[in-house]
Each structure stands twice: as C-alpha cells, then as structure tokens.
Amino acid sequence: MRIGVMVGPEQGDTNRKVDRMLKDVEWAESADLDTVWVPQIPTDFDALTAVALMGTRTSRIEIGTAVVPLQAQHPVHLVRQSLSTHAALGGRLALGVGPSHHWIVQDMLGLPYDKPAKYTRDYLEVLGAARDLPGSIDVENDTFKVHNPLDIAPVAPMPVLVAALGPVMLRIAGELADGTVLWMADERAIAEHIAPRIIKAAEEAGKPKPRIVAGVPVCLCAPSEVDVARERANRILAEAEISPNYQRLLEHGQAKDIGDMAIVGDEDAILAGFRRYEEAGVTDLSMRLLPIGNTRDELVASKYRTREVVAELVKELR
C-alpha cells in the first residue's frame, strides 16, 4: 500500500495558501511519501492549478486531484487542462474526478443533477479518448457529441480515478477508469462493498486491477486524547455527512461518522490502522492530517508531530 497525504488550501489568505501548499508538498516528497492528493474544495483554490504549482517544487512524487467535479467543465476542457498539467509535472498527475454532490452541482452551480452516474459514464468516454491523442476526440453518446482535434498528447499514461461509492458508480469506475478515490469509507465498507465490485468490473472489462485510494483522517496523540481527536474530526470534517451518497456508504461499514473511522492514537495505533486498510484492499492511503490543540501553536505542533511519525512508519511499511 502506498502512503500519501492530502494537501489543500484550507484557511488563510490566497498568498499564504500558495506558500503553505508548496511547503507541504516539499515535505511530502522529502519524507519519501508516494503521493499527494489535492481536494477540490467548492469554495476555494483550483485543484489542477495547485497541482501544477506543486510540480515546480517536486521531481518524483505523484500528485493527484481528489476530486475535480465533472459538471463544472466540458470534458474537452478537462482533457486539455489535465494533459497540460500532466506534461508540466513530467507525467506525474493522477486525475481524480467525480460527479460531486447535489448541494454543489444543483444548489451552488445551478446545474442539473438528475442522472449523475449516466453523466459520469458519458463523460468518461470522452476522457478515455484522450489516451489516443494527438489526433481527434470523436465521441458521440447521449450527453456529448464531440469532434475536437487536439495536438497535445499524454507524456506518460495518466491514471483517471473516479469517486465511486455505490454499485453503479463502482461498475463504471472499474470498466472505464483506473480506480476509485474514496472518502467516508471505513475498512469494512472497502473490503466488503468497494473492492469486490470495482475489481470484478475491471476484470470483466479486461482491465488491470484498479487502484483504491482511501482518504482517512490521521492524528498522533496520547491514548487519553483519542476522544478529543475523534470529536475534532467530526467537528471540522462532518460537512460531508449531509450527503446522501456518504450516508449510504456509511451503511456498508461499521463506523457511524468520520471521527469513528479516523486513525488516531500513538505510533502503534497508527501503524495498526494503516495495516487494517491495507488488508481491506486499499492500494493507496491518503492521509488527512488531523492536528489537535486549543491554540494555533498547539495545532501546528500537533501537525508536525504526526508528520514526523508518519515519515518513519512509511519506512517500516516498506
């Protein structure tokens, strides 16, 4: 299992966001992590722009989006943007995409959210044609009629990963993409619901075994602080639980909320948590570092302690 970390804008003014993201990705590469995952927060920094910036400060680490909402741009535009970013990174982009949620697409963007799975399938057919560039993207389906020449080409194979939570989306991801990017999926949900479905779909489509990227909060803390860490996870990350998609996913696992599935505790507890996700079938773990504390200085210190321990655990896992 490869270990990566989420790096995003979060709080602060725009100038400080850029500086912090660049410093975080520099640490991730220096710590010998495998991947960095950039969330597309609907109210904040553009994820692919952030990925391109991070490529200027790194030379080895894979950098992915987790995830770009499909409805926000035409697929040809996303092909052009992602292949350009992929080239800027020297072939290190993992393009994570997804149909997002009704409260983003419908309520914030004012776009229809009637058949997200069907829309995703049709969109992925256009994205898939990018593998044969340079040339022309020629795809006609129920949603898109595209005949668009492009002179750019993938500088290396570019994995496309789909935020797939339900059976239909997992089948689509297995058939048309290279894996899935998850959030709110605990070990049981992955082992019993996610992995069997997407692996079967990939096998039936004659594709390689898909990647399963699991986003999980991680916090190094004393045993006496475990409840504090879980409560903080629920307080700052619980917005996702308003989504029916995530609610249905929780029903497949044993965790009742994001705090319940967080990997928190001392070094042994974190290592054990990593191994549980690996045994469940996760190929890539995307850590959402979860600092605890009552002041900014305490939060920063907590983040750095967690990072130091994780860097050592990566060596042990290998």
Q: Which of 76, 72, 63, 75 is nearest to 2 (CA)?
A: 63
Q: What are φ and ψ of residue 108, in 5° steps?
A: -90, -40
Q: Cis before residue 134, ω within 30 degrees of 0?
A: yes
Q: What is the pLDDT of residue 112?
A: 87
Is the peptide bond between 105 and the residue preceding it cis, with omega within 30 degrees of 0? no
What tokens does 67 get? 């995830």
Query: Can you tell me the mean pLDDT for 101-125?
Result: 90
pTM, two decimals, is 0.95
- Secondary structure (DSSP) of 97-143: EE---HHHHTTTT----S-HHHHHHHHHHHHHHGGG-SEEEEEE-SS
Q: How confident is the model at residue 239 (pLDDT cuts 50, 70, 90)?
A: low
Average pLDDT over residues 49-57: 97
Asked whether the predicted pLDDT for residue 318 surpasses 90, the reply is: no
* Of the listed ranges 13-17, 86-90, 128-132, 147-151, the one predicted with least confidence: 13-17
Residues in a beta bridge with 286: 4, 215
If you average pLDDT over every residue of the chain, what do you get?
A: 95
> Distance from first CA to last CA of the chain, Å, rounded?
9
By CB atoms closer than 10 A (0-12, 13-18, 19+), residue 42 is: middle
Q: Could you tell me if 196 and 224 are in contact, meaning their C-beta atoms sit under 8 angstroms apart? A: no
Beta strands in the chain (DSSP E): 2-6, 35-38, 62-65, 68-69, 93-98, 135-140, 145-150, 160-162, 179-183, 211-220, 263-265, 284-289
What pLDDT does 82 receive? 97
Residue 272: per-residue pLDDT: 97
Give residue 156's pLDDT band: very low, low, confident or very high (50, 70, 90): very high
Whether 182 shows a pLDDT value over 90: the answer reads yes
pLDDT at 240: 59
Q: Is the dihedral of CA 194, 199, 205, 211 positive or negative?
A: positive
Q: Is the pLDDT of residue 33 over 90?
A: yes
Q: Convert the pLDDT of each residue in 283-307 to its tens digit.
A: 999 999 999 999 999 999 999 999 9
What 3-state class would DSSP assign to 219? strand
Q: CA-CA distance, 166 to 120, in Å (whole number)?
A: 13
> Cα(230)–Cα(262) distance, rounded to whole angstroms?
7
What pLDDT score does 244 carry? Answer: 81
Tell me the pLDDT band of 242, cut-offs 50, 70 and 90: low
Residue-level length of the chain = 318
Q: What pLDDT sits at residue 103?
A: 74
At how many degrees (to 10) do helices 116-129 and 167-176 cross? 10
Checking phi first, is residue 141 left (phi over 0); if not, alpha (psi -120 to 50) or beta?
beta
CA–CA distance, 216 with 96 (Å, rounded to integer)? 16
76 pLDDT above the threshold of 60: yes
Half-sphere exposure of 19 (CA within 13 A, CB side): 5
